[in-house]
Amino acid sequence: MIKKQQDEALKYFEEHAEKWRKLAKSSAYDKVNVIKQRNDFVLKVVADRKITDTALDVGCGTGDLVCEMASRGIKALGVDFAREMIDLAEENARNSNLLNAKFFCCSIFDFPFEPEKYDLISANGFIEYISYAELDRLFKSSYESLKKEGSLVLGSRNRLFNIFSLNKFTQDEIVSNEIIALLLEAIQIMKSEHIADLIGFETAPLQKEDKEHEITGIKVSTRYQFTPAQLASMLHAKGFEPIEIYPIHIHGSFPKFKEKNPAVHVLIANFLQEFAKNNACLIPQSSSFMIHGKKR
Ligand SMILES: C[S@@+](CC[C@H](N)C(=O)[O-])C[C@H]1O[C@@H](n2cnc3c(N)ncnc32)[C@H](O)[C@@H]1O
């Protein structure tokens, strides 16, 4: 099952690297550029940090974030197991003459992590494709490989959005009796002054490991969703101080409206995105979110 998840991910991303490159650069009027929103958050973290000399991007895809970081003078390395993605990432860096953007093709679980090497490690649109045991390994390797006060930045599909989407995902949460726990977490986020208030919050259990999910665009049958409290608690347990959660792809209305009026949806989503910083109250309406933790 778990192997199937990674096998499907490798096949999908090998076959769709070119499409991914276009998506990363897109400013289409009828599709929100989630890749750019996630990258922008990582760049905000960089801007907020005192020093970022070295960075590692896990599951780097076509390398846009690595190139953005390299253009800011950071020695940035991207790792991806899809050869086609790495070829495009290297081309991307060559075209912009970025000598400090480097790429490496292998599974991150075969990557030789070095101790205390990086100021920042990011993984955008990545943790949904790995098992919980692999996520555990990623936390451990990242912790060891980050310098003191190094930043770990993760992007995640947002399970709290299942409350708001009013579709099959919502029905599933009702059937599995977990919708109330998710609602209570959403209320907790509204009341919270800081992400630290979510550490240890009793929310829904993690999704069943063998769950096959509704396919939404990417043909990988198991793509986990997490809640902010789940990831904040995990970060804390693994030696990180959770710093911030940040909404990605904010929905001003329900997905049904988006399907019928994509251009209006994009206008509203991009407008709301301007308010993402310091507005965790937008999280339940976001289909993804970012979380930033610092090595304690
Ligand atoms: C959804 S894409 C995200 C790409 C990029 N981070 C972005 O935000 O545009 C996920 C990427 O993770 C890569 N990936 C998945 N599992 C991996 C693994 N075990 N090791 C390295 N890369 C992996 C895939 O090949 C794919 O390029």
Query: How far, in Å, from the CA of 122 to the mean position of ligand 1?
Result: 11
- pLDDT above 90 coverage of the chain, percent: 95
Say which residues have a Cβ less than 8 Å from residue 238's Cβ, sequence separation at least 6: 139, 140, 143
Residue 1 clears pLDDT 60, i.e. is over it: no
Quote the domain boundaries for residue 148. 2-295
> Atom 15 of ligand 1 has which residue's CA nearest to it?
59
* Confidence (pLDDT) at 2: 63
What is the rounded CA–CA span in Å between residue 37 and residue 123? 13
Q: Which atom of ligand 1 is nearest to the CA of 10?
A: 25
* pLDDT single digits (tens) 188-234: 999 998 999 999 999 999 999 988 877 778 999 899 999 999 999 99
Q: Is the pLDDT of residue 176 over 90?
A: yes
pLDDT of residue 210: 84
> In what helix (H) or strand (E) does residue 249 lie, and over which residues does it extend?
strand 240-250
Mean pLDDT of the chain: 96
Q: Which atom number of ligand 1 is nearest to the Cα of residue 107?
A: 20
Measure 79 CA to ligand 1 centroid, in angstroms.
8
- φ/ψ bin of 276: left (φ > 0), alpha (ψ from -120 to 50), beta (otherwise): alpha
Does residue 102 sit in helix, strand or coil?
A: strand
Ligand 1 is surrounded, with C-beta below 6 A, by 6, 9, 13, 24, 35, 38, 59-61, 79-82, 85, 107-109, 124-126, 129
Q: Residue whose CA is closest, atom 20 of ligand 1? A: 107
Tens digits of residue pLDDT in 37-83: 999 999 999 999 999 999 999 999 999 999 999 999 999 999 999 99
Q: Give the tokens for residue 49.
A: 């940090």
Q: How far apart are CA 167 and CA 124, in angstroms?
A: 25
Cα–chain center distance at 218: 15
Q: Which residue has the tokens 């509203």?
A: 268
Amino acid at 230: Q
- How many A from CA of 125 to the centre of ligand 1? 7
Does residue 209 contact residue 248 with C-beta atoms inside 8 Å?
no
Q: Confirm if 71 and 93 have CB atoms less than 8 A apart.
A: no
Which has the higher per-residue pLDDT, 209 or 238? 238
Res. 163: pLDDT tops 70: yes
Q: Sheet of 101-105: strands edge to edge?
A: 101-105, 75-80, 54-58, 118-123, 146-157, 286-295, 240-250
Nearest CA to ligand 1 atom 23: 59
Query: Considering the entire predicted model, what is its pTM?
Result: 0.97
Q: How many CB atoms lie within 10 A of CB 18?
A: 12
Question: 90 C-alpha vs ligand 1 centroid, how far in Å?
Answer: 15
Residue nearest to atom 1 of ligand 1 (CA): 125
**Mean per-residue pLDDT for 124-133?**
97
H or E segment at 75? strand 75-80
Say if residue 271's pLDDT is above 80.
yes
Confidence of residue 285 (pLDDT cuts 50, 70, 90): very high
The total domain count for the chain is: 1
Read off the amino acid at residue 66.
Answer: V
Question: Mean pLDDT, to the nearest integer, of 23-28?
Answer: 94
Q: Which CATH number covers residue 212?
A: 3.40.50.150
Residues 26-49: tens digit of each pLDDT: 999 999 999 999 999 999 999 999
- 178 CA to centre of ligand 1 in angstroms: 29
Q: Best of 15, 18, 25, 80 to mutate for ligand 1, by most ligand atoms within 8 A of CB?
A: 80
